[in-house]
Structure 1
Amino acid sequence: MCGRYELHSHPQVIALLAGLGAPPELLPRYNIAPTQNGLLVRTDAHGGREAVFAHWGLIPFWAKEKDLGARLINARAESLAEKPAFRQAFKKRRCLVPADGFYEWQGPPGNKQPWHIGMADDGPFAMAGLWECWHDPAGAMLESYT
């Protein structure tokens, strides 16, 4: 993935793209950042697809603190199966992250500029992702993704 992305397509378009039965409740967002909630699409308990909002920054189920997720916003394909933070999610909890574009920064340190990257037709697309379910020390559940 990237450091920032956007999702502003109409919910009906996202539902068609992701194969959802019903469109997600969604407001346009142009600067989704790590540690914010974003939309993901995953397989539900019945084998269908569901859209859920989750915390961007994967928090492994074994993590002691939520803060670890802020450093796990990108997963490299070549190391997913080996890295402890991604291994279980890679095996069992894959998802799609719908987007209309993402941003990459280029330039010399201190003067980097964001570049918007998207489809030539400006349509939505989906990025491969992983999701995880984490419980804080008090037992509250938080779902996260990368």
Structure 2
Amino acid sequence: MCNLYSNTMAKEAMRQLFAVDAAHDALGNAEPLSAIFPKGMAPIVGVNDDGARWLRTAHWGFVMPQVSKRTGKPIQPKAVNNARDDKLRMSGFWRNSFEERRCLIPATSFCEAKGRNPATYVWFGVTGDGARPPFALAGVWRAYTGNYGGGELREMMTSSMVTSTPNELVRETHPDRMPVILDPADYEQWLMGTPDEAFALLKPFPSERMVIHQSGEDMKSDRGGLRTAE
């Protein structure tokens, strides 16, 4: 699973990398994010009905309404920010989004914590040019309208990243899951392919194409970013 990642790309770089026309960029004054936590707002890339790609800001986590066991009244909803690959086609919570609303989640690193009290935070990325080469995680999205925190009615886009079994590099830190990193050649297939074609992409990214950017205690932010989303 993943509960923390970063995206320190400028939005102009995201438009270029993910082939998004400026007319379909709805990010506004988006800034680089060195730490994105569940319930944070961060960019995602999706497609219109005509296949044109867009960039929008989404709440990280599908909203799951909850009620108090003591009072029976609504409480702060839960944000379900990871979608297991083995649940995408079986669970009604994920199925429609996987079949109809897949997205790319731009990132420059993701973090897994190892141990407790204190935990060691390990930040993973991909090989390439520059200090933090950009990449995309497989994601799904859906719209949410309803009460959110303090009874406030909100309309927003929500997203969740897909996880699969870890490769050799990540397994040393998290033995069960890792987010699915997509090869750039597979972006179109993930966004526009059939469910079968998209599902075929859900596999561990090659460990030889990944690096550990930093590791240590209390590293809840990847160096180089300007702010956090939590």
> TM-score w.r.t. structure 1 length?
0.86
How far is 1:112 from its partner? 1.2
* Aligned pairs for 1:45-124 within 5 A: 45-59=49-63, 67-68=77-78, 70=79, 72-107=80-115, 109-121=116-128, 122-124=132-134
Number of aligned residue pairs: give it.
141
Structure 1 gap ranges (5+):
none
Separation (CA, whole Å) in 2 of partners of 1:102 and 1:111: 19
- Cα displacement string for residues 84-128 of structure 1 (whole angstroms, at most 9, x for unaligned residues): 211111111100000000111112x32211101011222100000
Distance 2:83 2:37 in 1: 16
Of 131, 150, 157, the match for 1:143: 157
Contact 1:3-1:103 within 8 A present in 2 as well: yes
2:144 is aligned with 1:134: yes
Which residue identity does 2:103 align to in structure 1? C
Residues 33, 139 of structure 1: alpha-carbon distance in 2 compared, 3 angstrom cutoff: closer
Give the aligned partner of residue 11 of structure 1: 11
Which of 20, 26, 31 is the matching residue for 2:35? 31
| Displacement after TM superposition at 1:41 (Å) | 0.4
What secondary structure sits across from 1:14 in the alignment? helix
Q: Show structure 1 runs of 4+ deviating over 3 A.
A: 63-66, 137-140
CA distance in 2, matches of 1:111, 1:96: 33
**More displaced 10-residue stretch of structure 1: 117-126 or 96-105:** 117-126
Deviates more, 1:16-25 or 1:76-85: 16-25
Q: What is the DSSP-based 3-state SS (H/G/I as helix, E as strand, rest coil) of the residue aligned with 2:54?
A: strand
Comparing 18-27 with 128-137, greater Cα deviation is found at 18-27
Instruction: Tell me the residue number matched to 2:164.
Output: none
The C-alpha deviation readout for 1:43-79, integer Å capped at 9, x for no partner, is 024320000001100126xx577713x2x11111121
Aligned counterparts of 2:101 and 2:11: Cα–Cα separation in 1 = 24
8 Å contact from structure 1 (residues 59, 132) kept in 2: no
Deviation at 1:29, TM superposition (A): 0.7
Identity of aligned residues (%): 27
Q: Which has the larger radius of gyration?
A: 2
Change (3 A) 1:140 1:31: closer
